[in-house]
Amino acid sequence: MSNSPDKTKQGVKRSREIWFGRIARLFDRTTVEEETWDELEELLISADVGVATTHKLIDRMKQRARDERLSEGSQIHSALKEEMVNLLSVDAGVGGVPALGNLQLILVVGVNGCGKTTSIAKLAHGFKNEGKKVILAAADTFRAAAIDQLKRWGERVGAEVVAHQPGGDPGAVVFDALQAAQNRQAEVVIIDTAGRLHTKFNLMEELKKIKRVASKYDVSQEVLLVMDATTGQNGLAQARHFTEAVGVTGIFLAKLDGTAKGGIVLAICDELRIPIVYIGTGEQLGDIAPFDANAFVEAIFS
């Protein structure tokens, strides 16, 4: 999937217009006073960067201003962008690991209503556009509607869907999907799992079982957490629970275009040390962009 600066700009349009544009205007001033730092702190927290990450950023900025003798607004602004890129540059997970045996397995997890199935469709569409053969596994067996929805998306993007009857064993669906992938020389298997509250012990245990089934195959396995950008700081708690249960390797930040508080990406990378791998930038199948720290920072300020 190629990175598109235009897609990233589209995804952060509201954040840029409402919060980060105001931050940029802070540095139109010739000199930066103590009052400027206070205003910057208030704006970053309002943009959902989070208190801890905001303080870390401002402490780094003040240190750089002292060490490098930065006093002009434009110099401070450039330094702020550099520090943001540094915070966002967490080692890549999904897509950054070469697949073993040419098969890449992506286990997709998330809470109810986070945009998981649509995000899976966007991923499948992107891989198909790269010429890869994709198989979708309907391991959300709790709801017949979830299986039907994944089948409809599969038809739209041209990806085969492996599914069982509603109420079946999700582990068996994963087993069959991996068998089908090996038999048909597929390159990517994307597993849809039941949307679950991260606090439900039994459901998290089932997720571990699905991962164990997949682990029996010698494939590149990634765990992608779909997170709704509009949930803001609440998403951090979700991510921690999922990471403890199944070792999340990357985040698909869905609905980024639906929030003005795009600063949540900084909190995610800083506090969780989990890379954001993809961002959802709109409602169409093609509205997905691989996350790029430099492109993101440029987009929120441009």
277: in domain? no
Picking from 138, 260, 111, 125, the residue whose alpha carbon sits closest to that of residue 210 is: 138
Last residue of a domain, one of 204, 224, 248: 248
User: Do 105 and 224 reside in the same domain of the chain?
Assistant: yes
Pairing of strands 276-280, 288-290: antiparallel
Pairing of strands 276-280, 250-254: parallel
Mean pLDDT of the chain: 87
Position 198 scores a pLDDT of: 54
132: in domain? yes
138: in domain? yes
Q: Which residues of the chain have pLDDT under 50?
A: 93-100
- Per the CB < 8 A criterion, the answer to whether 252 and 226 are in contact is yes
pTM reported for the whole predicted model:
0.88
In CATH, what number is assigned to the domain containing residue 37? 1.20.120.140
| Full domain range(s) for residue 119 | 100-248
User: Do 243 and 106 reside in the same domain of the chain?
Assistant: yes
User: Do 150 and 216 reside in the same domain of the chain?
Assistant: yes
Position 213 scores a pLDDT of: 86
Structure tokens given for 108:
């997709």
Sequence-distant (≥ 6) Cβ neighbours of residue 66 within 8 angstroms: none
Position 238 scores a pLDDT of: 83
Structure tokens given for 160:
């085969």
Last residue of a domain, one of 248, 267, 284: 248
Structure tokens given for 253:
């930040």
User: Do 112 and 41 reside in the same domain of the chain?
Assistant: no
The tally of CA atoms less than 13 A away on the side-chain side of residue 245 is: 28
Split into its structural domains, the chain has a count of 2
Position 91 scores a pLDDT of: 73
